[in-house]
Amino acid sequence: MLTLATTTPGEPEIFASLQGEGPSIGRPVAFVRLSRCNLSCTWCDTAYTWRFEGDNRPHRDGLAFERKANQLVLPEEEVAARIMALGQDRLVITGGEPLLQGAALARMVGLLSGMSVEIETNGTVAPHRALYPLVAQYNVSPKLPHSGNDPSMALIPERLSAWASEPKAWFKFVIAAPEQVEEVLALAAQYAIAPGRIYLMPEGTDSATLRAREAWLAPLALQNGLRLSDRMHIHLYGDTRGT
């Protein structure tokens, strides 16, 4: 069984859209959003996947979500069937933190036919051994200290080292202030991550904020040989579920 996020109560967040960020930006894909996360970014735009009533981990909006309305458990077979019905040739698995459900995820992905799979992860959880050969790409987004997470939980040396040596992995760092690019460069040097595998992405959930931050982030990306990622889905659809 897989635990999924919902678009509306009782409806799993499984949909077709254009990938809005990272290496596959602009590409038509199927999406599935899983529920639960082991981290708690204060600016998380999908807090409905983890900040349920009774969870006091800090978030800038201070919202707590009712679990029953925002979380759904479905058999792997049903999830796979819904994904295949979207008619796409690529699947993006996001969250929450998808790798927390590695074994069930592997069973579900194994039921898909003719689809390439990419997984978005915060980089703290190792892929399940049965899942690894089924995945074409990992979008690893380590959380810097401005996320509000304890670095001992968010930036685990063993995991970062493993991801850095993983040819399927791309790195995507959320940036809210110029000085955070120096933190990215320090991690890249420490773990020998090639600049060409690193995307800088502005933090923001509205077009005005993203554009303002890209104005200073783009020159920093160019100066340091790093890639820049927009958040295209925000410009197209706003900060909404199922997009």
Q: 């120096």: which residue's tokens? A: 182
Among 16-20, 59-63, 154-158, the range scoring the smallest mean pLDDT is 59-63
Rounded to whole angstroms, the Cα distance separating 151 from 217 reads: 23
Q: Give the rounded distance of the alpha carbon of 117 from its chain centre.
A: 13
Cα–Cα distance list, 22 to 38, 134, 163, 229, 243 (Å):
22, 20, 16, 6, 16
The DSSP 8-state label assigned to residue 169 in this structure reads E
Ramachandran region, residue 190 (left: φ > 0; alpha: ψ -120 to 50; beta: rest):
alpha
Direct distance between the N- and C-terminal alpha carbons of the chain, in angstroms, rounded to an integer:
24
Residue 33 is predicted with a pLDDT of 98
CA-wise closest residue to 12 among 59, 103, 81, 88: 81
Adjacency order of strands within the sheet including 2-8? 11-12, 2-8, 71-74
139 pairs with which residues across the strands? Answer: 120, 170
Q: How many helices (H) and strands (E) does the chain have?
A: 8, 11
Helix axes 102-109, 76-84, angle to 10 degrees: 50
In this predicted model, what pLDDT tens digit does every residue of 60-108 receive, in sequence order? 998 899 999 999 999 999 999 999 999 999 999 999 999 999 999 999 9
CA-wise closest residue to 29 among 129, 139, 123: 139
In this predicted model, what pLDDT tens digit does every residue of 28-65 receive, in sequence order? 999 999 999 999 999 999 999 999 999 989 999 988 99
Residue 73 is predicted with a pLDDT of 98
- 226: number of Cβ within 10 Å: 22
Q: 């969250």: which residue's tokens? A: 95
In this predicted model, what pLDDT tens digit does every residue of 207-235 receive, in sequence order? 999 999 999 999 999 999 999 999 999 99
CA-wise closest residue to 218 among 164, 178, 169: 178
Rounded to whole angstroms, the Cα distance separating 217 from 219 reads: 6
